[in-house]
Structure 1
Protein backbone atom coordinates (compact mmCIF):
# COMPACT_ATOMS: atom_id res chain seq x y z
CA UNK A 1 0.00 0.00 0.00
CA UNK A 2 1.38 3.41 -0.98
CA UNK A 3 1.92 6.31 1.42
CA UNK A 4 -0.99 8.16 -0.19
CA UNK A 5 -3.22 5.19 0.54
CA UNK A 6 -1.94 5.11 4.11
CA UNK A 7 -2.78 8.80 4.48
CA UNK A 8 -6.34 8.20 3.29
CA UNK A 9 -6.75 5.20 5.58
CA UNK A 10 -5.59 7.13 8.66
CA UNK A 11 -7.83 10.09 7.80
CA UNK A 12 -10.85 7.81 7.46
CA UNK A 13 -9.98 6.02 10.69
CA UNK A 14 -9.79 9.29 12.66
CA UNK A 15 -13.25 10.21 11.40
CA UNK A 16 -14.53 6.78 12.49
CA UNK A 17 -13.08 7.17 16.00
CA UNK A 18 -15.49 10.06 16.58
CA UNK A 19 -16.88 10.10 20.12
CA UNK A 20 -14.27 7.56 21.29
CA UNK A 21 -11.52 10.14 20.98
CA UNK A 22 -11.37 10.94 24.72
CA UNK A 23 -11.11 7.24 25.58
CA UNK A 24 -8.30 6.99 23.03
CA UNK A 25 -6.62 10.02 24.61
CA UNK A 26 -6.78 8.50 28.09
CA UNK A 27 -5.34 5.22 26.85
CA UNK A 28 -2.56 7.06 24.96
CA UNK A 29 -1.36 9.01 28.00
CA UNK A 30 -1.60 5.95 30.26
CA UNK A 31 0.66 3.98 27.92
CA UNK A 32 2.96 6.94 27.28
CA UNK A 33 3.63 7.66 30.96
CA UNK A 34 4.08 3.96 31.65
CA UNK A 35 6.67 3.70 28.88
CA UNK A 36 8.46 6.88 29.98
CA UNK A 37 7.37 8.42 33.32
CA UNK A 38 9.61 11.47 32.76
CA UNK A 39 7.23 12.61 30.01
CA UNK A 40 4.69 13.62 32.65
CA UNK A 41 6.81 16.77 33.00
CA UNK A 42 6.19 17.60 29.33
CA UNK A 43 2.54 16.58 29.08
CA UNK A 44 1.07 18.11 32.20
CA UNK A 45 -2.22 19.81 32.90
CA UNK A 46 -5.76 18.64 33.57
CA UNK A 47 -7.81 16.28 31.43
CA UNK A 48 -9.26 19.03 29.16
CA UNK A 49 -5.74 20.26 28.40
CA UNK A 50 -4.36 16.78 27.72
CA UNK A 51 -7.36 15.90 25.56
CA UNK A 52 -6.95 19.16 23.64
CA UNK A 53 -3.28 18.35 22.95
CA UNK A 54 -4.21 14.86 21.82
CA UNK A 55 -6.97 16.19 19.55
CA UNK A 56 -4.46 18.59 18.04
CA UNK A 57 -2.11 15.69 17.34
CA UNK A 58 -4.88 13.72 15.62
CA UNK A 59 -5.79 16.76 13.55
CA UNK A 60 -2.21 16.84 12.31
CA UNK A 61 -2.44 13.21 11.22
CA UNK A 62 -5.82 13.83 9.62
CA UNK A 63 -4.34 16.61 7.47
CA UNK A 64 -1.14 14.79 6.62
CA UNK A 65 -2.24 14.54 2.97
CA UNK A 66 -1.26 18.24 2.83
CA UNK A 67 2.08 17.59 4.50
CA UNK A 68 3.84 20.25 2.46
CA UNK A 69 1.30 22.80 3.72
CA UNK A 70 1.43 21.86 7.40
CA UNK A 71 5.21 21.36 7.60
CA UNK A 72 5.68 24.95 8.82
CA UNK A 73 3.13 24.34 11.58
CA UNK A 74 4.91 21.11 12.53
CA UNK A 75 8.23 22.92 12.74
CA UNK A 76 6.64 25.54 14.99
CA UNK A 77 5.19 22.81 17.18
CA UNK A 78 8.61 21.18 17.46
CA UNK A 79 10.20 24.48 18.48
CA UNK A 80 7.62 24.90 21.26
CA UNK A 81 8.43 21.39 22.51
CA UNK A 82 12.11 22.32 22.84
CA UNK A 83 11.18 24.58 25.76
CA UNK A 84 9.54 21.58 27.41
CA UNK A 85 12.75 19.51 27.10
CA UNK A 86 11.27 17.28 24.39
CA UNK A 87 13.87 15.09 22.70
CA UNK A 88 14.02 13.25 19.40
CA UNK A 89 14.21 9.95 21.28
CA UNK A 90 10.74 10.58 22.78
CA UNK A 91 9.02 9.97 19.45
CA UNK A 92 9.63 6.25 19.75
CA UNK A 93 7.57 6.30 22.96
CA UNK A 94 4.90 8.49 21.31
CA UNK A 95 4.56 6.07 18.41
CA UNK A 96 4.41 2.98 20.60
CA UNK A 97 1.87 4.55 23.00
CA UNK A 98 -0.34 5.67 20.12
CA UNK A 99 -0.39 2.22 18.51
CA UNK A 100 -1.15 0.58 21.86
CA UNK A 101 -3.99 3.05 22.51
CA UNK A 102 -5.45 2.47 19.05
CA UNK A 103 -5.38 -1.27 19.66
CA UNK A 104 -7.10 -0.80 23.05
CA UNK A 105 -9.82 1.39 21.55
CA UNK A 106 -10.42 -0.25 18.17
CA UNK A 107 -9.70 -3.83 19.27
CA UNK A 108 -10.38 -6.23 16.35
CA UNK A 109 -10.91 -3.28 14.00
CA UNK A 110 -7.24 -2.36 14.39
CA UNK A 111 -6.04 -4.57 11.57
CA UNK A 112 -2.38 -5.11 10.57
CA UNK A 113 -3.02 -2.92 7.51
CA UNK A 114 -4.36 -0.09 9.67
CA UNK A 115 -1.45 -0.43 12.09
CA UNK A 116 0.99 -0.20 9.18
CA UNK A 117 -0.78 2.91 7.90
CA UNK A 118 -0.65 4.67 11.27
CA UNK A 119 3.03 3.78 11.71
CA UNK A 120 3.87 5.10 8.25
CA UNK A 121 2.01 8.38 8.74
CA UNK A 122 3.42 8.87 12.25
CA UNK A 123 6.99 8.38 11.03
CA UNK A 124 6.47 10.95 8.28
CA UNK A 125 5.17 13.56 10.71
CA UNK A 126 7.79 12.73 13.35
CA UNK A 127 10.62 13.06 10.83
CA UNK A 128 9.87 16.76 10.34
CA UNK A 129 9.71 17.47 14.08
CA UNK A 130 12.76 15.38 14.91
CA UNK A 131 14.84 17.30 12.37
CA UNK A 132 13.92 20.57 14.08
CA UNK A 133 14.73 19.16 17.53
CA UNK A 134 18.11 17.87 16.40
CA UNK A 135 19.04 21.14 14.70
CA UNK A 136 17.88 23.30 17.60
CA UNK A 137 20.39 25.37 19.58
CA UNK A 138 21.67 23.60 22.65
CA UNK A 139 19.41 25.61 24.94
CA UNK A 140 19.14 23.63 28.11
CA UNK A 141 21.38 20.80 26.90
CA UNK A 142 24.05 21.77 29.39
CA UNK A 143 21.51 21.46 32.18
CA UNK A 144 20.60 18.27 33.96
CA UNK A 145 17.33 16.98 32.54
CA UNK A 146 14.29 16.34 34.66
CA UNK A 147 14.74 12.61 34.14
CA UNK A 148 18.39 12.81 35.26
CA UNK A 149 17.42 14.78 38.35
CA UNK A 150 14.75 12.21 39.18
CA UNK A 151 17.15 9.31 38.67
CA UNK A 152 19.69 10.94 40.96
CA UNK A 153 16.93 11.46 43.53
CA UNK A 154 15.95 7.78 43.58
CA UNK A 155 19.60 6.83 43.88
CA UNK A 156 19.93 9.04 46.95
CA UNK A 157 16.69 7.87 48.54
CA UNK A 158 18.02 4.36 48.14
CA UNK A 159 15.40 1.69 48.66
CA UNK A 160 11.82 1.46 47.47
CA UNK A 161 10.92 0.52 51.05
CA UNK A 162 11.86 4.06 52.12
CA UNK A 163 9.33 5.51 49.68
CA UNK A 164 6.75 3.00 50.91
CA UNK A 165 7.30 3.97 54.55
CA UNK A 166 6.99 7.67 53.72
CA UNK A 167 3.67 6.97 52.02
CA UNK A 168 2.47 4.88 54.93
CA UNK A 169 3.06 7.82 57.26
CA UNK A 170 1.64 10.26 54.70
CA UNK A 171 -1.63 8.38 54.15
CA UNK A 172 -2.08 7.82 57.86
CA UNK A 173 -2.20 11.60 58.16
CA UNK A 174 -4.42 11.99 55.09
CA UNK A 175 -6.97 9.39 56.17
CA UNK A 176 -7.15 10.86 59.68
CA UNK A 177 -7.67 14.43 58.46
CA UNK A 178 -11.27 15.56 59.06
CA UNK A 179 -11.36 17.35 55.70
CA UNK A 180 -9.03 15.65 53.21
CA UNK A 181 -9.85 12.27 54.70
CA UNK A 182 -13.36 12.53 53.25
CA UNK A 183 -11.89 11.70 49.85
CA UNK A 184 -10.70 8.35 51.16
CA UNK A 185 -13.86 6.90 52.68
CA UNK A 186 -14.18 3.25 51.68
CA UNK A 187 -10.85 3.38 49.84
CA UNK A 188 -8.31 0.63 50.57
CA UNK A 189 -5.31 2.39 52.15
CA UNK A 190 -2.83 -0.39 51.37
CA UNK A 191 -3.73 -0.32 47.68
CA UNK A 192 -3.38 3.47 47.47
CA UNK A 193 0.01 3.33 49.23
CA UNK A 194 1.25 0.68 46.80
CA UNK A 195 0.06 2.55 43.71
CA UNK A 196 1.43 5.90 44.91
CA UNK A 197 4.76 4.28 45.74
CA UNK A 198 5.01 2.64 42.32
CA UNK A 199 4.11 5.92 40.62
CA UNK A 200 6.60 8.05 42.54
CA UNK A 201 9.45 5.53 42.29
CA UNK A 202 8.99 5.66 38.51
CA UNK A 203 8.80 9.48 38.62
CA UNK A 204 12.05 9.51 40.63
CA UNK A 205 13.73 7.49 37.87
CA UNK A 206 13.51 4.09 39.54
CA UNK A 207 11.95 0.87 38.29
CA UNK A 208 8.62 1.50 36.57
CA UNK A 209 6.04 -0.92 37.96
CA UNK A 210 3.13 1.52 37.79
CA UNK A 211 0.22 0.33 35.62
CA UNK A 212 -2.45 2.85 36.58
CA UNK A 213 -3.77 5.94 34.82
CA UNK A 214 -1.98 9.34 34.80
CA UNK A 215 -2.86 11.65 37.72
CA UNK A 216 -4.98 13.91 35.52
CA UNK A 217 -7.32 11.07 34.60
CA UNK A 218 -7.48 9.51 38.06
CA UNK A 219 -8.56 12.82 39.60
CA UNK A 220 -10.49 14.31 36.69
CA UNK A 221 -13.90 14.04 38.41
CA UNK A 222 -12.59 15.23 41.79
CA UNK A 223 -12.82 18.88 42.84
CA UNK A 224 -9.36 19.38 44.33
CA UNK A 225 -8.36 22.94 45.19
CA UNK A 226 -5.05 24.68 45.84
CA UNK A 227 -5.95 24.79 49.54
CA UNK A 228 -6.26 20.99 49.58
CA UNK A 229 -2.89 20.63 47.85
CA UNK A 230 -1.31 22.89 50.48
CA UNK A 231 -2.72 20.69 53.27
CA UNK A 232 -1.41 17.64 51.44
CA UNK A 233 2.03 19.27 51.21
CA UNK A 234 2.18 19.71 54.98
CA UNK A 235 1.51 16.01 55.55
CA UNK A 236 3.90 14.85 52.83
CA UNK A 237 6.71 17.06 54.10
CA UNK A 238 6.09 15.82 57.65
CA UNK A 239 6.17 12.18 56.51
CA UNK A 240 9.39 12.63 54.54
CA UNK A 241 11.25 14.28 57.42
CA UNK A 242 9.91 11.82 59.99
CA UNK A 243 11.36 9.01 57.89
CA UNK A 244 14.76 10.62 58.45
CA UNK A 245 15.43 12.05 55.00
CA UNK A 246 17.33 15.33 54.77
CA UNK A 247 15.79 18.72 54.15
CA UNK A 248 17.50 18.80 50.74
CA UNK A 249 15.97 15.45 49.71
CA UNK A 250 12.63 16.58 51.07
CA UNK A 251 12.67 19.67 48.87
CA UNK A 252 13.55 17.62 45.79
CA UNK A 253 10.83 15.05 46.53
CA UNK A 254 8.29 17.86 46.90
CA UNK A 255 9.47 19.48 43.66
CA UNK A 256 8.74 16.28 41.72
CA UNK A 257 5.40 15.91 43.50
CA UNK A 258 4.48 19.53 42.74
CA UNK A 259 5.02 18.96 39.03
CA UNK A 260 1.77 16.98 38.98
CA UNK A 261 -0.35 19.55 40.83
CA UNK A 262 -1.36 21.43 37.69
CA UNK A 263 -2.99 18.29 36.30
CA UNK A 264 -5.03 17.73 39.48
CA UNK A 265 -6.00 21.13 40.94
CA UNK A 266 -9.11 22.90 39.67
CA UNK A 267 -10.17 26.52 39.97
CA UNK A 268 -13.87 25.71 39.86
CA UNK A 269 -16.11 22.66 40.00
CA UNK A 270 -16.91 23.25 36.33
CA UNK A 271 -13.41 21.99 35.47
CA UNK A 272 -14.30 18.49 36.68
CA UNK A 273 -14.64 15.92 33.91
CA UNK A 274 -17.02 13.03 34.44
CA UNK A 275 -15.90 9.49 33.71
CA UNK A 276 -19.37 8.28 32.74
CA UNK A 277 -22.66 9.92 31.79
CA UNK A 278 -24.76 10.83 34.82
CA UNK A 279 -21.80 10.99 37.20
CA UNK A 280 -21.45 14.02 39.48
CA UNK A 281 -18.24 15.78 40.54
CA UNK A 282 -16.67 14.28 43.65
CA UNK A 283 -16.57 17.07 46.21
CA UNK A 284 -16.05 17.21 49.96
CA UNK A 285 -17.21 19.90 52.35
CA UNK A 286 -14.77 21.42 54.81
CA UNK A 287 -15.98 21.01 58.41
CA UNK A 288 -16.93 24.31 60.06
CA UNK A 289 -14.41 23.95 62.89
CA UNK A 290 -11.67 22.47 60.70
CA UNK A 291 -8.12 23.63 61.42
CA UNK A 292 -5.43 23.15 58.80
CA UNK A 293 -2.28 21.30 59.91
CA UNK A 294 0.64 23.52 60.77
CA UNK A 295 3.67 23.43 58.51
CA UNK A 296 6.93 22.30 60.07
Structure 2
Protein backbone atom coordinates (compact mmCIF):
# COMPACT_ATOMS: atom_id res chain seq x y z
CA UNK A 1 0.00 0.00 0.00
CA UNK A 2 1.12 3.52 -0.69
CA UNK A 3 1.30 6.14 2.06
CA UNK A 4 -1.60 7.98 0.37
CA UNK A 5 -3.73 4.82 0.43
CA UNK A 6 -2.97 4.31 4.11
CA UNK A 7 -4.04 7.89 4.83
CA UNK A 8 -7.28 7.44 2.87
CA UNK A 9 -8.14 4.25 4.76
CA UNK A 10 -7.37 5.76 8.14
CA UNK A 11 -9.27 8.99 7.51
CA UNK A 12 -12.33 7.27 6.10
CA UNK A 13 -12.40 4.76 8.93
CA UNK A 14 -12.87 7.60 11.42
CA UNK A 15 -16.25 8.24 9.79
CA UNK A 16 -17.16 4.56 10.05
CA UNK A 17 -16.15 4.46 13.72
CA UNK A 18 -18.73 7.18 14.37
CA UNK A 19 -21.45 4.76 13.18
CA UNK A 20 -19.75 1.54 14.20
CA UNK A 21 -22.80 -0.22 15.62
CA UNK A 22 -24.81 0.48 12.47
CA UNK A 23 -21.82 -0.41 10.28
CA UNK A 24 -21.38 -3.76 12.01
CA UNK A 25 -25.06 -4.56 11.53
CA UNK A 26 -24.90 -3.61 7.86
CA UNK A 27 -21.78 -5.72 7.42
CA UNK A 28 -23.23 -8.91 8.87
CA UNK A 29 -26.56 -8.50 7.06
CA UNK A 30 -24.69 -8.06 3.79
CA UNK A 31 -22.29 -10.93 4.51
CA UNK A 32 -25.19 -13.30 5.04
CA UNK A 33 -26.82 -12.09 1.81
CA UNK A 34 -23.60 -12.45 -0.19
CA UNK A 35 -22.66 -15.80 1.34
CA UNK A 36 -25.37 -17.61 3.30
CA UNK A 37 -22.83 -20.28 4.28
CA UNK A 38 -21.37 -17.77 6.74
CA UNK A 39 -24.55 -17.36 8.79
CA UNK A 40 -24.19 -20.65 10.72
CA UNK A 41 -20.75 -19.53 11.88
CA UNK A 42 -22.54 -16.97 14.08
CA UNK A 43 -25.52 -19.04 15.21
CA UNK A 44 -24.38 -19.03 18.85
CA UNK A 45 -22.91 -15.54 18.84
CA UNK A 46 -24.08 -12.47 20.68
CA UNK A 47 -24.18 -10.28 17.58
CA UNK A 48 -23.83 -7.01 19.49
CA UNK A 49 -20.62 -8.34 21.03
CA UNK A 50 -19.53 -9.78 17.68
CA UNK A 51 -20.07 -6.38 16.08
CA UNK A 52 -17.85 -4.75 18.70
CA UNK A 53 -15.18 -7.38 18.09
CA UNK A 54 -15.38 -6.80 14.34
CA UNK A 55 -14.99 -3.06 14.67
CA UNK A 56 -12.13 -3.44 17.17
CA UNK A 57 -10.31 -5.80 14.81
CA UNK A 58 -10.76 -3.43 11.87
CA UNK A 59 -9.57 -0.51 14.00
CA UNK A 60 -6.48 -2.47 15.04
CA UNK A 61 -5.59 -3.20 11.44
CA UNK A 62 -6.40 0.29 10.14
CA UNK A 63 -4.48 2.03 12.90
CA UNK A 64 -1.57 -0.34 12.41
CA UNK A 65 -1.16 0.03 8.67
CA UNK A 66 1.99 2.06 9.34
CA UNK A 67 3.26 -0.65 11.72
CA UNK A 68 3.10 -3.98 9.91
CA UNK A 69 5.38 -5.60 12.48
CA UNK A 70 2.54 -5.19 14.99
CA UNK A 71 -0.43 -5.98 12.76
CA UNK A 72 0.88 -9.00 10.86
CA UNK A 73 1.36 -11.34 13.84
CA UNK A 74 -2.06 -10.38 15.25
CA UNK A 75 -3.73 -10.99 11.87
CA UNK A 76 -1.98 -14.34 11.50
CA UNK A 77 -3.10 -15.45 14.94
CA UNK A 78 -6.66 -14.33 14.27
CA UNK A 79 -6.69 -16.27 10.99
CA UNK A 80 -5.57 -19.47 12.67
CA UNK A 81 -8.34 -19.11 15.28
CA UNK A 82 -10.92 -18.51 12.56
CA UNK A 83 -10.14 -21.91 11.01
CA UNK A 84 -11.33 -23.53 14.24
CA UNK A 85 -14.62 -21.59 13.92
CA UNK A 86 -15.20 -23.02 10.45
CA UNK A 87 -13.96 -20.15 8.29
CA UNK A 88 -12.83 -21.28 4.86
CA UNK A 89 -10.54 -19.68 2.32
CA UNK A 90 -13.61 -18.82 0.19
CA UNK A 91 -15.14 -16.82 3.03
CA UNK A 92 -12.40 -14.20 2.70
CA UNK A 93 -13.80 -13.07 -0.66
CA UNK A 94 -17.30 -12.86 0.81
CA UNK A 95 -16.05 -10.82 3.76
CA UNK A 96 -14.19 -8.48 1.41
CA UNK A 97 -17.29 -7.92 -0.70
CA UNK A 98 -19.44 -7.28 2.38
CA UNK A 99 -16.83 -4.93 3.85
CA UNK A 100 -16.54 -2.81 0.71
CA UNK A 101 -20.32 -2.64 0.36
CA UNK A 102 -20.63 -1.58 4.01
CA UNK A 103 -18.00 1.11 3.56
CA UNK A 104 -19.90 2.40 0.55
CA UNK A 105 -23.09 2.59 2.58
CA UNK A 106 -21.40 4.23 5.55
CA UNK A 107 -19.29 6.74 3.65
CA UNK A 108 -21.82 7.64 0.97
CA UNK A 109 -20.34 10.19 -1.43
CA UNK A 110 -17.09 9.95 0.54
CA UNK A 111 -16.60 6.46 -0.87
CA UNK A 112 -14.76 7.79 -3.91
CA UNK A 113 -12.95 5.54 -6.38
CA UNK A 114 -9.69 6.46 -4.62
CA UNK A 115 -11.05 5.50 -1.19
CA UNK A 116 -12.50 2.28 -2.58
CA UNK A 117 -9.15 1.46 -4.20
CA UNK A 118 -7.30 2.11 -0.96
CA UNK A 119 -9.66 -0.12 1.04
CA UNK A 120 -9.46 -2.81 -1.63
CA UNK A 121 -5.67 -2.75 -1.43
CA UNK A 122 -5.78 -2.92 2.37
CA UNK A 123 -8.21 -5.83 2.40
CA UNK A 124 -6.34 -7.75 -0.30
CA UNK A 125 -3.13 -7.40 1.70
CA UNK A 126 -4.79 -8.46 4.95
CA UNK A 127 -6.61 -11.33 3.27
CA UNK A 128 -3.38 -12.62 1.73
CA UNK A 129 -1.60 -12.51 5.10
CA UNK A 130 -4.46 -14.24 6.86
CA UNK A 131 -5.09 -16.97 4.28
CA UNK A 132 -1.39 -17.78 4.12
CA UNK A 133 -1.32 -18.19 7.90
CA UNK A 134 -4.56 -20.15 8.08
CA UNK A 135 -4.01 -22.41 5.08
CA UNK A 136 -0.23 -22.76 4.55
CA UNK A 137 1.00 -24.53 1.48
- The two structures have a TM-score, normalised by structure 2, of 0.89
Q: Contact (CA 8 Å) 2:21, 2:52: kept in 1 or not?
A: no
- For residues 50-81 of structure 1, the C-alpha deviation after alignment (integer angstroms, 9 at most, x for no partner) is 21222123212232221222211111101100
Q: Contact (CA 8 Å) 1:71, 1:128: kept in 2 or not?
A: yes
Structure 1's consecutive aligned runs of 4 or more residues displaced over 3 angstroms after TM superposition are none
Instruction: Give yes or no for the alignment of 1:105 onto 2:128.
Output: no
Q: Contact (CA 8 Å) 1:24, 1:105: kept in 2 or not?
A: yes
Q: Contact (CA 8 Å) 1:78, 1:130: kept in 2 or not?
A: yes
Once residues 66 and 121 of structure 1 are traced to their aligned partners in structure 2, the CA distance between those partners, rounded to angstroms, is 13
Tell me the equivalent position of 1:133: 134
Query: Which segments of 5 or more consecutive residues in structure 1 lack a partner in the other structure?
Result: 137-296
Q: Which one has the largest radius of gyration?
A: 1
- For residues 165-208 of structure 1, the C-alpha deviation after alignment (integer angstroms, 9 at most, x for no partner) is xxxxxxxxxxxxxxxxxxxxxxxxxxxxxxxxxxxxxxxxxxxx
Once residues 101 and 16 of structure 2 are traced to their aligned partners in structure 1, the CA distance between those partners, rounded to angstroms, is 15
Q: Which region of structure 1 is more displaced relative to structure 2, 106-115 or 53-62? A: 53-62
Higher helix share: 2
Instruction: Report deviation, 1:16.
Output: 2.5
Query: Which segments of 5 or more consecutive residues in structure 2 lack a partner in the other structure?
Result: none
Once residues 62 and 43 of structure 1 are traced to their aligned partners in structure 2, the CA distance between those partners, rounded to angstroms, is 26
Give the alignment's Cα RMSD to 1 decimal: 1.6
Tell me the equivalent position of 1:38: 37
SS of the aligned residue for 2:85 comes to coil
Q: Contact (CA 8 Å) 1:14, 1:62: kept in 2 or not?
A: no
Structure possessing the higher relative contact order (Cα contacts under 8 Å, 6 or more residues apart)? 2
Q: Contact (CA 8 Å) 1:36, 1:93: kept in 2 or not?
A: yes
Once residues 85 and 46 of structure 1 are traced to their aligned partners in structure 2, the CA distance between those partners, rounded to angstroms, is 17
